[in-house]
Structure 1
Amino acid sequence: MSTTIKEIPFWESKSLEQMSRNEWESLCDGCAKCCLHKFIDDEDNDDDSELMPTTYIEEGEQMNYSNIACYLLNDKTCQCTQYDKRTTLVPDCVQLTQDNIDSVFFMPPSCTYRRLKEGRGIPSWHPLLHKGKKSAMHKAGMSVRGKIVKDNEVDLDFFEDYIVLWPLNDID
């Protein structure tokens, strides 16, 4: 009689801090919601500070997601066209790492990094559960595919016209 031992996936057997760089990178579900512009609703902002990047959100402030995405994003594949150079080309692009995950407050609820950090597990549509393919994610409506405009194609002075709720959606 043979006994089959089921291997436990690394995302269930390791903490985010224990993962190798390759394991960490493979957790990215590729939804590209992190490439969306987000705005903090704050009555104290003036015209000069309104569109400035920030590294924090204060109590009482609300973050709004828009359907405006970085110009480097390929809106079909939901991948950055300049991934290795993105933080140089777009200085306020945040590279999510094991060291800064606790301070990255703007990740959407469906983000796999956020889900694992919060103890909610990997989502059923994640590419790691579908042989590396993103089709289940797109079919579930969890990516930005078909929902965005590029930041170099819109006037950011009218960002209020682009505020959307769908990036906050999460399933399972």
Structure 2
Amino acid sequence: MVDHTRFWLTKPMEDMTEAEWESLCDGCGKCCTFTLENDDTGDLFRTRVACRLFDSAACGCSDYANRFATVPTCIRLTPATVPTLDFLPVSCAYRLVAAGCDLPDWHHLVSGDRETIHREGWSVRHQTISEAQLEEDGTDPEDYITRWRRPPLPPKPPRRTRAALKRPREKGI
């Protein structure tokens, strides 16, 4: 069971339980889509092409427990790897929490409803094509470059300075 008392604001990612860590995923599905990189410029291009295990209707992995065995290129997200993974969307809860930000209103830990992200249009549900389909058709991922809608994000909370943490001294009478 996950403690839904905004643990992501107070608990370091390294100290989260497995349930808390897994609950951070908002279910947008964007990390399961292919991102292409221009070798010359380093620019990243998002595509509508999803991993062969991605279920577009459910907007999630169809074999989550065995994904690393089935898809050797599937990347394990950890507190150490999240800051280094530039393919994760800026709206990714793991990225937001790693940067010290709060979660957006449409995140299920805030809204209380896992469908909010889909209703608000921030996920890739029903918008992807499987890499298996590309292999059958002989088409190229470059044909499916897209720009996903970028959701509004919560502001990063201001860092409290040492001076701000000091209590003002009361003057004697």
Fold shared per TM-score above 0.5:
yes
- Kindly report the root-mean-square deviation, in angstroms, between the aligned alpha carbons of the 2 structures: 1.8
Residues 1:166 and 2:148 are matched in the alignment: yes
Structure-2 separation of matches of 1:66 and 1:111: 16
Instruction: State the percentage of identical aligned residues.
Output: 34
CA deviation after TM superposition for structure 1 residue 90, in Å? 0.5
Q: How many residues align?
A: 148
AA partner of residue 21 (structure 2):
W
Residues 1:97 and 2:78 are matched in the alignment: yes
Q: 1:33 aligns with which of 26, 30, 44?
A: 30
Structure-1 separation of matches of 2:9 and 2:101: 11
Q: Secondary structure at the match of 1:85?
A: helix
Structure-1 separation of matches of 2:34 and 2:5: 36
Q: Secondary structure at the match of 2:133?
A: coil
Residues 1:18 and 2:12 are matched in the alignment: no
Structure-2 separation of matches of 1:81 and 1:146: 14
Q: Secondary structure at the match of 1:152?
A: helix
Residues 79 and 98 in structure 2, CA contact (< 8 A), matched pair in contact too: no
Normalised by the size of structure 1, how large is the TM-score?
0.79
Structure-1 separation of matches of 2:63 and 2:125: 18
Unpaired runs of at least 5, structure 2: 154-173
Q: 1:134 aligns with which of 106, 109, 114?
A: 114
Structure-1 separation of matches of 2:126 and 2:152: 19
Normalised by the size of structure 2, how large is the TM-score?
0.79
Give the structure with higher Rg (CA): 2
Unpaired runs of at least 5, structure 1: 1-6, 44-59
CA deviation after TM superposition for structure 1 residue 157, in Å? 5.3
AA partner of residue 123 (structure 2):
S
- Aligned match of 1:153: 133
- Aligned match of 1:122: 103
Q: Secondary structure at the match of 1:66?
A: strand
AA partner of residue 25 (structure 1):
E
Runs of 4+ in 1 over 4 A off after TM superposition: none
Q: Secondary structure at the match of 2:49?
A: strand
